[in-house]
Amino acid sequence: MDLTWNEFERTDMRVGTIIEVNDFPEARKPAYQLTIDFGAEIGIRKSSAQITVHYKKEDLLNRQIISVVNFPKKQIGKFMSECLVLGAIGKEGDVILLAPDFKIENGLRIG
């Protein structure tokens, strides 16, 4: 099914900086709980991300990433995920994060 241009434009993708990373032992698949700063307009959001194959917690701290910030919140166990962190999914289900090449302002919209 093709996506229309208007549908694509409704997807709000933004740059954010990971400011906290915690293990998520309750998740069905290995994951981290991320706290992400999207700047003054959007603020701080939390997300669960299955990115443990390629990333250690200490490597994620202060790293900028791209997320969808206008999806409905999703309850994952006792954790409420408030945005969707974007990444390329490999054949084995491993995820490589999408990120800007240079440090830029948090909250900038992806178009």
Express each pLDDT in 26-44 by its tens digit: 988 999 999 999 999 999 9
Flag whether 110 is in a domain. no
pLDDT band at 16 (very low <50, low <70, confident <90, very high): very high
Q: Which two tokens stand for residue 38?
A: 């999207």
Look up the domain containing 12 and give its range.
5-103
Counting the structural domains of the chain, the total is: 1
- Long-range contact list for 27-35, CB < 8 A, 24+ apart? 27/76, 27/77, 29/93, 32/57, 32/60, 33/79, 34/60, 34/85
Given a contact cutoff of 8 angstroms between Cβ atoms, the answer to whether 67 and 14 are in contact is yes
Flag whether 99 is in a domain. yes
pLDDT band at 1 (very low <50, low <70, confident <90, very high): confident
